[in-house]
Homo-oligomer: A and B are copies of this chain.
């Protein structure tokens, strides 16, 4: 299978899935040297890029469908963290060998998520090489409404969507050769696009959790020149994690990574709006702490004891079999 056939297959599958692509501001799509796109008047462009390498960002046994899904999901998660509306994607696919079945499943996975969020695939390239997927997601946002990392303020409440640590726990079960109870948390993260839109122009700071809660919170705190207190008993856990002892669970929740939930800060007078958001978006939103003037991050265990996650088994998950 040659590159041109591959591109044609991806083009046909994705455009069949997106019959309304002509409405999506695509003036020139797949098949020319570059795509030509219409950013609507009164919007800024938002652009994110992320690469997934086999064995590093996903287990080598991950089904092609889930790789296609996840490469888009992690980038839509970045757009969500900015409060943007996703519009278009460009895909660079490196494959050891180009099998038509593999590409079909990959594209099905990609399209399943692209359709849900109205994203058109407008360009890219395929090449031979170790399995790697690099995706650029483009979206739009109203001027001044983009959420940034550097806007947290002392007194803000700290909120996280969904649950944290489940992807890392699933990966650890996989690495230990155990039955994995919630593999979907690892393979099919839900980009929180609607939540990001609802927060745009309303939340202070926002980031998506890809490196782990503590690491990503650290990015926010450094960019905002402030600190935070986290209450460990408020960290939301997935069903499978309920069986773990506290310290093991906290370690996954604090250090795990790959959750792709949104972590954001709200001025305290807006905390009451969380109930409305939970209802409207059918999403779990947990207040897990607050922003403080003193730099650094302090964790409080149940009962009010300080807890130091670095001394207590903080560990980052990197290599994947």
In this assembly, does A138 line the interface, its C-beta being within 8 Å of a C-beta of chain B? yes
Please indicate the chain B residues that have their CB under 8 angstroms from the CB of A239 in the complex. none
In this assembly, does A78 line the interface, its C-beta being within 8 Å of a C-beta of chain B? yes
Cross-chain contact B35 with A46 (CB below 8 angstroms): yes
Please indicate the chain B residues that have their CB under 8 angstroms from the CB of A146 in the complex. 27-28, 36
Cross-chain contact A38 with B48 (CB below 8 angstroms): no
Write the A31-53 contact mask toward B (1 if CB under 8 angstroms, else 0). 11111111101001111111101
CA distance A36 to B92 in the complex (A): 22
- Residue in contact with A122 in the complex, picked from B47, B57, B129, B207, CB distance below 8 Å: B47
Interface size on A, residues (CB 8 A): 59
Please indicate the chain B residues that have their CB under 8 angstroms from the CB of A46 in the complex. 34-37
Please indicate the chain B residues that have their CB under 8 angstroms from the CB of A207 in the complex. 33
Determine, out of A14-22, A79-87, A266-274, the stretch whose residues face the partner at the interface.
Answer: A79-87
Cross-chain contact A134 with B44 (CB below 8 angstroms): no
Given the interface pairs A38-B45, A123-B47, the reply to whether A28 lies near B129 with Cβ below 8 Å is: no
Given the interface pairs A33-B78, A94-B53, A129-B56, the reply to whether A88 lies near B208 with Cβ below 8 Å is: no
- Residue in contact with A94 in the complex, picked from B51, B141, B318, CB distance below 8 Å: B51
- Residue in contact with A45 in the complex, picked from B37, B124, B136, B150, CB distance below 8 Å: B37
Q: Which residue of B lies closest to A4 (CB)?
A: B219
Cross-chain contact A127 with B51 (CB below 8 angstroms): yes
CA distance A143 to B36 in the complex (A): 9
Please indicate the chain B residues that have their CB under 8 angstroms from the CB of A90 in the complex. 47-49, 136
Residues from 116 to 147 in A contacting B, C-beta threshold 8 Å: 122-125, 127-130, 132, 134, 136-139, 141, 143, 146
In this assembly, does A161 line the interface, its C-beta being within 8 Å of a C-beta of chain B? no
Given the interface pairs A27-B44, A127-B56, the reply to whether A78 lies near B148 with Cβ below 8 Å is: no
In this assembly, does A281 line the interface, its C-beta being within 8 Å of a C-beta of chain B? no
**What residues make up the interface of A, taking CB atoms closer than 8 Å to B?**
27-28, 31-39, 41, 44-51, 53, 56-57, 77-79, 81-82, 84, 88, 90-92, 94, 122-125, 127-130, 132, 134, 136-139, 141, 143, 146, 148-150, 206-208, 223, 318
Known: A27-B146, A33-B78, A49-B125; 9 extra A-B contacts, CB below 8 A, are A33-B48, A34-B79, A34-B137, A37-B45, A47-B136, A51-B94, A53-B130, A57-B127, A90-B136
